[in-house]
């Protein structure tokens, strides 16, 4: 089966400024692709290029096997949901939703049927006759999604659709989008700067920085095996601990203040350069005795800070000159200024080259 | 003290504006000796030339409004969407009619489009009417453009356009169904100003020798005693009605905005 969206060698520049460099991505039917990255990384530009709202400088875009590189947006058979909703203020909700069908000359009976279906799906039946101005942010977002849904497009494009909503509503809408994706099996490209949205929604994530793709993979791959320091740092909250370390044969040596360096045995480090960055997620550092396994190794660490966060308690210690966060259970007796035995799960560890940031293992 | 002073200034200003108006209306009503009557108005309204020139000017005003709308809305839209860096230039151009006197424009027209030119518009009635309409559109351009541009400022032109494009709409649909309804109020207020301008315009119509209301006003003023003042009152009422309509329409928008 041909991929539903295939972007190859895409480049985009404004004058001499290159915004997107050599972008290659493809997704299959039913995939949920999330483009994630800090602001200014080019993710929204890439989405606009897919939509045809921005001309591209080089490369090609295929939608369902057809070359859409130079096709006008209206003929690409896509539907886009915008951050600002972009509802038409002078039209009622119903008219907003049916606008796309009307433009395409869909007959009235079909329009009515689809409007009813979508309104029911999104629970907006009660305000079909209202103007967008009379709706709350969440309701407007539903209408904007409804407008895209009735189109039955090949591809849905979402441009940070949740960032104008408050935190609680965002979580709600996030799970609704996920349910919708499951129910419809739609192919979606979704832009966000929120890595939690990316992790929860995506079947495939593209992490971008400075117009360059850093890594493409499933949420698990991105989370567990980040391709470089940027991805490691960007994905996950709290971020992955990135600790400068030295390789000694099959051991890694990490400095700690006021005591001899920690030595951890890990056969994976054999053959790595001497100086590495050791990456370990906060949840892969536990209190000694609470984590078992052949890869788990313990060391006593000085605790600088204890942050109870309800479900977990985060403790911060200084290792290799960096503040390192460990995610402990709530009953921990860790106290600032005291020493605590921490268990490091080296089965989950990532090693990076300090200069290039490239993953080593 | 200050309160009294401000009232005094207000009354002085009102007197300055209203007294001549009252005088004008009073005089227009005194055609019959010794009593007030509407004789002058009856005479004016009964004059076939009045009806002819008035309806001619109304027709021209409506055509000018349609033409101005077709010219200005797409231009302002396009400038906002694709050529924002050209906005100062376009604004300057639309202001030119305020600086260049109508008489200069119309002489330019007559020279450019006379019967021996490559486009002899003044050679036929239709051509001259067309030329007059262009002239009127030029005169109303500063007001029309500003009104529409301000209207466009209140909506997110780029996103609405992109949304419509991605939903499958072409440019005509976008302009007609998305942009125009959103700036309709602005267009209407521009339209009323245009209407008022066209109804009172003298120079262009006179020099192009078209039977418009402005030259008729002048003709009456030169030849009759009471009728010109009745006409002036009528013209004044038209202008005020237009302004009232602008107010009314603007109020509707505000209402609309509050609901939004």
Burial category of A61 from C-beta neighbours within 10 Å (exposed 0-12, middle 13-18, buried 19 and up): buried
Tell me whether strands A241-248 and A275-280 are parallel, antiparallel or unpaired: antiparallel
Domain A5-234, CATH: 3.40.50.300
Which one of B82, B166, B182, B256 makes the best mutation probe of the A interface by having the most chain A beta carbons within 10 Å?
B166
Q: Give the strand pairing for A275-280 and A350-352.
A: antiparallel
Q: Does A341 touch chain B (CB under 8 A)?
A: no
B-chain residues near A82 (CB < 8 A): 159, 162-163
Q: Are strands A155-159 and A78-81 parallel, antiparallel or unpaired?
A: parallel
pLDDT at A93: 92
What is the pLDDT, as a whole number, of residue B1?
A: 66
Contact A147 B164 (CB under 8 A): no
Rounded distance, CA A234 to CA A295, Å?
Answer: 26
Classify residue B23: in a domain, yes or no. Answer: no
Confirm or reject contact between A74 and chain B (CB < 8 A).
yes
Which of B79, B73, B100, B104 minimizes the C-alpha distance to B91? B79
- Asked if the Cβ–Cβ distance from A51 to B162 is below 8 Å, we say yes
Residue of A nearest to B165 (CA): A74
Query: Residues B250, B91: contact at Cβ < 8 Å?
Result: no
CB atoms inside a 10 Å sphere around CB A336: 11
- Using CA atoms, how far apart are residues B81 and B78, in angstroms rounded to an integer? 5
Average pLDDT for chain B:
88
Instruction: Tell me the average pLDDT across B71-98.
Output: 92
- The answer to whether B168 and A103 are in contact (CB under 8 A) is yes
Residue where the block lists tokens 């300090």: A354
Range of the structural domain that residue B46 is part of? 36-259
B51 lies in a domain?
Answer: yes
Residues 6+ apart with CB under 8 A from A163: A83, A170, A192, A193, A194
State whether residue B173 sits within 8 Å of chain A by CB. Answer: yes
Nearest chain A Cα distance for residue B151, angstroms:
13
- pLDDT in the model for residue B258: 38
What pLDDT, on the 0 to 100 scale, is given for residue B253? Answer: 61
Structure tokens at B120: 């002899």
Return the half-sphere exposure (C-beta side, CA atoms, 13 A cut-off) of residue A7.
23
Cα B216 to Cα B228: distance, rounded to the nearest angstrom: 10
Give me the pLDDT at residue B196, please. Answer: 87
Q: What is the CATH number of the domain that holds B160?
A: 1.10.3720.10
pLDDT in tens, B31-84: 888 889 888 899 888 889 989 999 999 999 999 999 999 999 999 999 999 898
pLDDT for A231 equals 94
CB A299 within 8 A of CB A339: no
Query: Contacts of residue A90 in chain B, CB cutoff 8 Å?
Result: 181-182, 184
Strand partners, A207: A36, A215
pLDDT over 60 (residue B182): yes
Assess if residue B14 is contained within a domain: no
CA–CA min distance A161, chain B (Å):
13
What's the pLDDT score for residue B257?
Answer: 44
What pLDDT, in 10s, does the model give residues A324-361?
Answer: 999 999 888 888 999 999 999 999 999 999 999 999 98
User: Under 8 Å CB-to-CB from B135, ≥6 apart: which residues?
Assistant: B102, B105, B106, B109, B204, B208
CATH architecture under which domain A241-352 falls: Beta Barrel (2.40)
Please report whether residue B11 resides in a domain.
Answer: no
Hey, are the CB atoms on A72 and B165 less than 8 Å from each other?
yes
User: Which residue's entry shows tokens 């027209």?
Assistant: B109
Yes or no, beta carbons of B159 and A157 under 8 Å apart: no
pLDDT in tens, A135-191: 888 888 889 988 888 888 889 999 998 888 888 888 888 888 898 899 888 899 999
Please give the pLDDT value at position A109: 92
B140-168 residue pLDDT tens: 999 999 999 999 988 889 889 988 888 88
Looking at residue B79, its pLDDT comes to 93
CB contact under 8 A, A48 and B165: no
Q: How far is A101 from chain B (nearest CA, A)?
A: 8
Looking at the structure of chain B, the number of domains it has is 1
Task: Give ranges for CATH 2.40.50.140 in chain A.
Answer: 241-352
Question: ipTM score here?
Answer: 0.72
**Assigned token pair, A265:** 């045995």
Q: Which residue in B139, B150, B233 sits closest to B188, CA to CA?
A: B150
The helix (H) or strand (E) run that includes residue B60 is helix B48-81
- How far apart, in Å, are the Cα atoms of B252 and each of A112, B66, B79, B247, B259? 31, 22, 27, 9, 11
Q: Give the span between the Cα atoms of A135 and B190, in whole angstroms.
A: 31
The closest CB to that of B168, out of A53, A82, A100, belongs to A100
Give me the residue label for tokens 């309800």: A310
Which chain A residue is nearest to residue B181, measuring alpha carbons? A90
Contacting residues of B for A99, CB less than 8 Å apart: 164, 167, 169, 177
**What are the chain B neighbours of A72 within 8 Å (beta carbons)?**
165
Q: Is B162 on the interface with A (CB under 8 A)?
A: yes
Q: In the predicted model, what is the mean pLDDT of residues B97-108?
A: 92
The residue assigned the tokens 């007030």 is B36
In order along its 361 residues, chain A shows pLDDT tens digits of 788 999 999 999 988 899 999 999 999 999 999 999 998 899 999 999 999 989 999 999 999 999 999 998 888 888 889 888 889 988 899 999 999 888 888 899 999 999 998 888 888 888 899 999 888 888 888 899 888 888 888 899 999 988 888 888 888 888 888 988 998 888 999 999 998 999 999 999 999 999 999 999 999 999 999 999 999 999 988 899 999 999 998 999 999 888 889 999 998 888 899 999 999 999 999 998 888 888 899 999 999 999 999 889 999 999 999 999 999 998 888 889 999 999 999 999 999 999 999 999 8
**CA closest to A135 among chain B residues:** B260
Compute the distance between CA of residue A205 and CA of residue A190 in angstroms, rounded to an integer. Answer: 9
Residues of A in contact with B164 (CB under 8 A): 99, 103
pLDDT at B254: 52
Scanning chain A, the segments in alpha helix (DSSP H) are 43-51, 93-103, 108-122, 137-149, 167-184, 195-201, 219-224, 229-234
**B7: its two tokens:** 């009232």
| Enclosing H/E stretch for A24 | strand A17-27
d(CA A272, CA B183): 66
Q: Which residues does A223 contact at the CB level (< 8 Å), separation at least 6?
A: A199, A235, A236, A281
* A216 close to A205: Cβ distance less than 8 angstroms: yes
Give A131-144 as a 3 state SS string.
CHHHCCHHHHHHHH
The DSSP letter of residue B172 is H
Q: How far apart are CA B60 and CA A154, in angstroms?
A: 50
Chain A nearest-CA residue for B162: A53
Query: Is B151 inside a domain boundary?
Result: yes
pLDDT of residue B104: 93
Q: Tell me the sheet residues that pair with A155.
A: A78
Give the separation between CA B26 and CA B170, rounded to whole angstroms: 58
């Amino acid at each position: 089966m041909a991929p539903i969206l295939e972007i190859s060698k895409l480049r985009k520049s404004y004058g001499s400024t290159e915004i997107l460099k050599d972008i290659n991505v493809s997704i299959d039917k039913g995939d949920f692709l999330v483009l994630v990255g800090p602001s200014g990384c080019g993710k929204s530009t890439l989405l606009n290029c897919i939509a045809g709202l921005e001309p591209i400088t080089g490369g090609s875009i295929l939608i369902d096997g057809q070359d859409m590189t130079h096709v006008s947006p209206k003929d690409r058979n896509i539907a886009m949901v915008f951050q600002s909703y972009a509802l038409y203020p002078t039209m009622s909700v119903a008219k907003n939703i049916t606008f796309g069908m009307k433009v395409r000359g869909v007959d009235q009976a079909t329009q009515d049927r689809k409007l009813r279906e979508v309104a029911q799906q999104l629970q907006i039946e009660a305000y079909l006759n209202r103007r967008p101005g009379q709706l709350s942010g969440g309701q407007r977002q539903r209408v904007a999604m409804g407008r895209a849904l009735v189109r039955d497009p090949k591809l849905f494009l979402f441009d940070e659709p949740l960032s104008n909503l408050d935190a609680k509503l965002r979580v709600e809408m996030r799970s609704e989008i996920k349910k919708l994706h499951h129910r419809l099996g739609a192919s979606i490209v979704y832009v966000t700067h929120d890595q939690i949205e990316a992790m929860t929604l995506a079947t495939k994530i593209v992490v971008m920085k400075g117009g360059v793709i850093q890594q493409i993979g499933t949420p698990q791959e991105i989370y567990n095996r980040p391709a470089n320091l940027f991805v490691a740092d960007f994905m996950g909250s709290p971020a992955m601990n990135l600790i400068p370390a030295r390789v000694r044969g099959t051991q890694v040596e990490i400095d700690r203040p006021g005591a001899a360096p920690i030595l951890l045995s890990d056969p994976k480090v054999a053959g790595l350069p001497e100086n590495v960055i050791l990456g370990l997620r906060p949840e892969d550092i536990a209190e000694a005795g609470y984590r078992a396994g052949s890869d788990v190794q313990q060391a006593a660490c000085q605790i600088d800070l204890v942050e109870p966060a309800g479900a977990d308690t985060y403790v911060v210690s200084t290792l290799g000159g960096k503040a390192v966060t460990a995610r402990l259970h709530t009953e921990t007796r860790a106290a600032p200024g005291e020493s605590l035995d921490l268990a490091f799960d080296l089965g989950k560890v990532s090693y990076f080259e300090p200069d290039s940031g490239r993953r080593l293992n | 003290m200050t309160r009294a002073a401000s009232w005094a200034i207000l009354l002085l200003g009102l007197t300055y504006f209203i007294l001549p108006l009252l005088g004008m209306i009073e005089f227009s009503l005194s055609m019959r000796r010794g009593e007030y009557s509407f004789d002058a108005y009856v005479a004016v309204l009964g004059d076939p030339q009045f009806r002819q020139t008035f309806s001619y000017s109304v027709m021209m005003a409506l055509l000018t409004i349609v033409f101005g709308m077709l010219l200005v809305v797409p231009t302002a839209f396009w400038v906002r969407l694709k050529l924002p860096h050209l906005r100062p230039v376009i604004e300057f151009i639309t202001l030119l009619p305020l600086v260049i006197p109508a008489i200069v424009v119309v002489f330019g027209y007559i020279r450019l489009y006379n019967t021996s030119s490559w486009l002899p518009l003044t050679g036929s009635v239709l051509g001259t009417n067309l030329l007059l309409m262009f002239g009127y559109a030029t005169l109303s351009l500063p007001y029309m453009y500003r009104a529409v541009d301000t209207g466009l400022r209140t909506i997110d032109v780029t996103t609405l356009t992109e949304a419509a494009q991605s939903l499958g709409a072409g440019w005509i649909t976008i302009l007609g169904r998305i942009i125009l309804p959103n700036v309709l109020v602005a267009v209407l207020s521009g339209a009323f100003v245009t209407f008022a301008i066209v109804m009172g315009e003298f120079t262009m119509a006179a020099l192009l020798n078209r039977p418009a209301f402005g030259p008729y006003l002048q003709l009456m003023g030169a030849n009759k005693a009471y009728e010109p003042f009745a006409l002036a009152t009528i013209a004044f009422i038209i202008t005020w009605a237009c302004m009232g309509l602008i107010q009314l329409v603007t109020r509707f928008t505000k209402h609309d905005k509050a609901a939004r």
